[in-house]
A and B are shown apart, each in its own frame.
Chain A
Amino acid sequence: MIRVAHSHGGWRRGNDARRGAGAAAAAAVTIALALLPDVAQAYVITIASGSRAIFLQIGAGGYNAPSNQGGTPANNTTINTVSVTIAAADVGSGTSREMTSNSTVAQSPIDGFAYCNPPAQVYIGAWSRTNGNNNATLTVTTPASLTSGTSTIPFSQIRWTMSGNGDTVFQFPDGTFNGGTQSLGTISPNTWEEQCMTFTYFNSTIPAAGTYTGRAVYTLSLP
């Protein structure tokens, strides 16, 4: 179990409405609460330090229950797909199209709060636990293009937007895939950060007909 604890002995979620719910839930699992002033800040969970461990989740992941209810992390090898089908009259129109996913994951594994809005949004979360002071780095790597046989669509035709119900300050930046490795930020020691990703296809070129596929690899690395 990852004990969620603020440095003052409680846990916090910045200027987030979940704080109230988290307080009650946390009490039930004997995690102390420290209320914070209502100021805009990122929703960052501080976790108790302990043996070195990291966890990265894209979609639902492997928690068997919310962490604040005693859930524990595990591996999960199922990979979600984000997709879009372009209408014939819309091919290459230059009008961006929002993509959808086959994820049904709405709840944060931190506290079970309905944080993301599937299928439009895909959960991303990472924590790092260490006795040291090293930041973990979170990156995403994509190939140059999605492919359909010999035809291609550049991965740079897809961008993502970070959000989350109730959050106003986001840990990870919005961006556009560049067909390489991009930084999504750093995870401070003993913190848990999360967000919801919405993907958009720019639809600014006329590709050959086909079903194009490509894979993004998100990597959390703790030096």
Chain B
Amino acid sequence: MSPRRSRRLAAAASLLVSLTGGALLLWPALVRADSRFETGTASPTKASAHLDFTIIVPNVAFLRLGTGGALPGSSPTLSVTTIDATGATGTRTAPAGSLISARVVGNAGSLSLSAAAFGRGWSRFVVAADHGAAVHMLEHPSLVDDASSARVLPVTRGRITELDANWTYSLAPTAPRKTGGLRPLPADEPGPTRLIYSLSMP
């Protein structure tokens, strides 16, 4: 028994003794929960009381590019990926460093992922998506020169969205000019500089 508690109890005991006649005054008007008092000869005699539970879960929209945690609240480490855009004829071979891990988590229905492209030449790129061991693929939005494009992401269960992918950026192969394919970028035309991804929840 702790001495501290003993002292408290001693004080309480004295109070109770002195106020025996007014004991009810000591009993606070409490916020009362459920209780049941049952008497009688019924067999079995039963008394039930209840307790309610509430869990409040807020809307969550989580976008991770690069490495880091897989869940909302984790701290992602933003990766800088270098895409080799030299040589306008392009190649399907992804240069080292052109792969980035992406993940989206949401819990309030479908999401929209947009990619705002700055500079020209993005339309020449293709982004291959590979979801590895993840269950659901996160497809990349289309890339449009100096503009944004968005992709509506599907829910994967109930109102939950959980999508993953490794995105690999590479230049599309140059198509024959006569079929309207790509032409080399003029040397004086600003090349692609930055992509900004945004995740939105309706």
Contact = CB atoms under 8 A, between A and B. Distances in A.
A207 B74 CA distance: 17
A20 B158 contact: no
A158 B55 CA distance: 10
A17 B7 CA distance: 10
A103 B53 CA distance: 12
A91 B57 contact: yes
Nearest to A199: B53
B107 A91 contact: yes
B196 to A, nearest CB: 22
A85 interface: yes
B13 A24 contact: yes
A175 interface: no
Nearest to B5: A17
Q: Chain B's interface: helix, strand, loop or mixed, by majority?
A: mixed
B35 A56 contact: yes
Nearest to B23: A69
Given A17-B9, A113-B12, A212-B54, A80 B47 contact: no
A52 B27 contact: no
B189 interface: no
Interface string B19-46: 0100110111011111111111101111
Nearest to B72: A91
A90 B56 CA distance: 12
Given A75-B36, A83-B53, A105-B30, A25 B17 contact: yes
Interface residues of A, number: 97
Interface in A56-84: 56-66, 69-71, 73-84
A210 B160 CA distance: 12
Contact of A65 (B27, B72, B159): B27
Contact of A213 (B1, B48, B52, B72): B52
A110 B174 CA distance: 86
A159 to B, nearest CB: 12
B1 to A, nearest CB: 4
B58 A91 contact: yes
Contact of A60 (B8, B32, B158): B32
Given A216-B50, A217-B50, A221-B46, A61 B24 contact: no
B110 to A, nearest CB: 12
Nearest to A84: B55
B60 interface: yes
A82 B18 CA distance: 37
19 contacts: A21-B12, A25-B17, A54-B37, A65-B26, A79-B52, A83-B56, A85-B58, A88-B72, A91-B57, A91-B72, A105-B33, A113-B12, A207-B55, A207-B107, A211-B55, A212-B56, A215-B53, A217-B49, A222-B45
